[in-house]
Amino acid sequence: MNKKTLYLFIACLLPSFLLPGQWDKYRFETARMGSPFRIIISTQDSTGLTHVVHEALLLAENLENQLSDYRLESDVSKVNQLAGTGQFHPIKEPFKAILNESLLAYQYSHGDLNVFLGKLVAAWRKARKTQVLPDQKQMQNWLEELKSPCLEFNKDSSGIRLKQTACQLDFGSIGKGFVAQRVLDYLVKKSFPYALVDAGGKICATQVNPAGEAWKVGLELPNSRNVSSDYLEIKNQSIASSGKTYQQVNIGGKIYSHVIDPKTGLGLEHARSATAIAAHGARADWVATAATIMEISELKLLLQSLPEVKLLVWEYQNDQLEILLNHGILITD
């Protein structure tokens, strides 16, 4: 990749044009988790494809119904509603899987990526609508309560409870990557092994065909929504990014990201962005988010614990771009 990619931010899929001898690509799109949700299948035999994709989209919907706190009847909402009551709520396998990865993220990030910040996340959602800063005293009270353990499993780990009322689960930093990976795995299981799933820019892919052709993923210029002609090639990998290009709010002349600093309760103010590549969608998703919060020295230690992860972190201020960390993504001279 040439040096122009120093200015890039992951955005969307740029499919190859069909040429003689290539496998046909079939595209399907809906909306899930508040974002476009795309499936692209590369195949020479489309028999049964529509049915399998329909089932895959139902799977995505089912996972959203379990894991989204936007859904009042979801498992995560019910767990949150019972916080502090002492009652356990039963959880299904996908819930347990995403929770375990979230706890791993908390451990590896030394608390900088905290799945229990749901109350603060909700407060900042409201702030983006009202453009009024959340009550800082209330946020500090929540942060103080969060210093105590939040989670407890029952004896056979089939149910969980949140021990403090301030503890509220939010899978926003991991959910899209998790769902994209589950849908991709389902497509492979159903005999469509060459596929790509894009959940709002959290992309999981196998390869395009048996020859090992890679999918081409477009990149976006930081602090803009312009797509560059440069791209990354992805196969049997997942890629995700985090930054404040989209979900941000201007309050009192300060621009706050949707990503929350768990030390202060405030949305991040810096212009840092990150792109992560990993073997699993959930991991790429949370590592990209964590990379916008953690110190660079801490990220280097994190990457020692996750040797399969590639990471690019940069900050863009005063029309100047500074690469803070390039771990296996950019090819430099």
Question: In this structure, what token pair is assigned to residue 133?
Answer: 């800063």
Q: Answer whether 312's CB lies under 8 Å from 273's CB.
A: no
- Report the 10 Å Cβ neighbour count for 68: 21
Q: Is 289 annotated as a binding residue?
A: yes
Q: Provide φ and ψ at 260, rounded to 5°.
A: -100, 135
The pair phi, psi for residue 75, each rounded to 5°, is: -60, -40
Please give the CATH architecture assigned to the domain spanning 67-162: Orthogonal Bundle (1.10)
Q: Is 46 annotated as a binding residue?
A: no
CA 310 to chain centre: 15
- pLDDT value for 243: 75
Structure tokens at 270: 């810096």
What span, in angstroms and rounded, lies between the C-alpha atoms of 54 and 60?
Answer: 10
Q: How confident is the model at residue 1 (pLDDT cuts 50, 70, 90)?
A: very low
Kindly provide the residue ranges of all beta strands, DSSP E only, lying in the chain, ordered along the sequence: 9-13, 24-32, 35-43, 89-90, 151-153, 159-162, 195-199, 202-205, 215-220, 227-234, 237-242, 248-251, 254-257, 272-278, 310-317, 320-327
Per-residue pLDDT tens over the stretch 70-86: 999 999 999 999 999 99
What is the Cα–Cα distance from 11 to 6, expressed in whole angstroms? 15
Q: Is the predicted pLDDT of residue 15 greater than 80, yes or no? A: no
Give CA angle at 295 (292, 300), nearest 5°: 100
Residues 160, 79 contacting (CB under 8 angstroms): yes
| 13 has pLDDT over 50 | no
3-state secondary structure of 155: coil
In which band, very low, low, confident or very high, does the pLDDT at 67 lie, cut at 50, 70 and 90? very high
Greater pLDDT, 293 or 333: 293
> CA-CA distance, 272 to 288, in Å (whole number)?
11
User: What contacts 235, CB < 8 A, 6 or more positions away?
Assistant: 205, 206, 207, 208, 212, 213, 214, 215
Give the residue carrying structure tokens 């079939």: 26
Q: What is the mean pLDDT of the chain?
A: 87
| Beta-ladder partners of 25 | 42
* C-alpha torsion sign, points 39, 43, 47, 48: negative
Measured at the alpha carbon of residue 317, what is the angle toward residues 312 and 322, in degrees to the nearest 5? 35
* Distance, CA of 106 to CA of 116 (rounded, Å): 10
pLDDT more than 70, % of the chain: 88
pLDDT of residue 222: 54
C-beta neighbour count of 58 within 10 angstroms: 12
Domain boundaries, the chain: 67-162
| Cβ atoms 273, 8 nearer than 8 A | no
Judge whether residue 3 has pLDDT over 80: no
130 is in an annotated binding site: no
* Higher pLDDT among residues 1 and 257, named by residue: 257
Mean pLDDT of 125-136: 87
Mean pLDDT of 124-141: 88
Is residue 324 classed exposed, middle or buried when 0-12, 13-18 and 19+ CB atoms within 10 A define those classes?
middle
Give the model's pLDDT for residue 247: 64
Per-residue pLDDT of 215-253, as tens digits, reads 988 766 555 444 444 578 899 999 998 876 556 778 877
Higher confidence at residue 313 or residue 21? Answer: 313
pLDDT at 299 over 90: yes
Residue range 156-170, pLDDT digits in tens: 999 999 999 999 999
Read off the pLDDT of residues 157-214 as tens digits, 9 standing for 90 and up. 999 999 999 999 999 999 999 999 999 999 999 999 999 999 998 999 999 999 999 9
Query: For residues 236 and 300, what is the distance between their CA atoms, to the nearest angstrom?
Result: 24
Higher pLDDT, 281 or 21: 281
d(CA 39, CA 203): 10
**Residue whose C-alpha is closest to residue 209's, from 66, 73, 21:** 21
